[in-house]
Amino acid sequence: MLVAVFGAKGRMGAEVCRAVSEADGLELVAALDAGEDRTPAASADVVVDFTVPDAVMENLAWCAEHGIHAVVGTTGFTPERLDAVRDLFVGSGANVIVAANFSIGALLMMHWAQEAARHYESVEIIELHHPDKVDAPSGTAATTARRIAAARADAGLGPVPDATTQDAGARGADVDGIRVHGVRLRGLFANQQVIFGNEGEGLTITHNSYTRASYMPGVLAAVRAVASRPGLTVGIEGILGIGS
């Protein structure tokens, strides 16, 4: 398979270029960054996009126009944005996978957090990242919060208890009724804690990515799978057999 990488000079893109170059059966045909002509990518079977939330939609429109499959790790995807991606690829002959996180541990963390969500009255999320990250909350935290909120609604749980009436901003972001707190700290890479509480007990699910190598098996699995996954696929749980 011929693979092009968008965002190739970035922290993730550079790691993906290395992983693709070393992978059996994959060939890196284009490594492109901001402002570069996309023409060299036109021969690719799959584009991998790790760019920035402001650029990714235009990149995906180009992929759809050229009938090239896309694997997207760039974050900032709301449900509305995902609907727009689905529409872009209709009739294009190409498929697209969008995943806020490609690491096995993060996928298991989200899966188990969704399972736990129905059993706890309280839940909050703390995501901790390097200070060069541009988006907050992280894509992983926003995805986790939405999945927890859906599981709570499904279980008939009401809003999480919170008596706060005076807030100077200390209660974090509200994602579908779930509070998400973002920490940006030099020395950290990517961590997340999902904290559950009931009267008299608590449960914390923690995931740590120590290096960007943690994402590469998932990215390569998505590259290999995208041609056989029609339309838009959100997350790679189905590809890795998580939750099935």
Element (H, E) at 207: strand 201-209
Q: Is 201 exposed, middle or buried (0-12, 13-18, 19+ CB in 10 A)?
A: exposed
Nearer to ligand NDP, 73 or 152 (CB): 73
129 catalytic per annotation: yes
Q: Is 144 annotated as a binding residue?
A: no
Nearer to ligand NDP, 2 or 55 (CB): 55
Token digits for 45?
């079977």
133 binding ligand LZUJQKHR? (CB under 6 A): yes
- Residue 10 interacts with, from ligand NDP, ligand LZUJQKHR, none (CB under 5-8 Å by kind): ligand NDP
Token digits for 217?
């098996």
Cα angle 238, 145, 97; round to 5: 30
Binding mask 133-172 for ligand NDP (x = CB under 6 A): --x---x---------------------------------
Q: Minimal distance in Å, beta carbon 197 to ligand NDP? A: 28
Nearer to ligand NDP, 104 or 160 (CB): 104
Count of residues binding ligand NDP (CB under 6 A)?
A: 25
Angstrom CA distances, 150 to 117, 133, 158, 211, 236, stand at 9, 27, 11, 30, 19
50 binding ligand NDP? (CB under 6 A): yes
Token digits for 179?
């509070």
Token digits for 47?
């584009």
Nearer to ligand LZUJQKHR, 138 or 233 (CB): 138
Q: Is 190 annotated as a binding residue?
A: no
Phi, psi of 181 (to 5 degrees): -110, 130
Q: Is 140 annotated as a binding residue?
A: yes
- Residue 102 interacts with, from ligand NDP, ligand LZUJQKHR, none (CB under 5-8 Å by kind): ligand NDP
Query: Which residue's entry shows tokens 């922290």?
Result: 11
Question: Does residue 137 have a cis peptide bond before it, meaning omega lies within 30 degrees of 0?
Answer: yes
- Residue 129 interacts with, from ligand NDP, ligand LZUJQKHR, none (CB under 5-8 Å by kind): ligand LZUJQKHR
133 catalytic per annotation: yes
Helix, strand, coil percentages, rounded to 5, for the chain: 40, 25, 35
Q: Which residues are catalytic?
A: 129, 133
Q: Which residues bind ligand LZUJQKHR (CB under 6 A)?
A: 75, 100-101, 129, 133, 138-140, 190
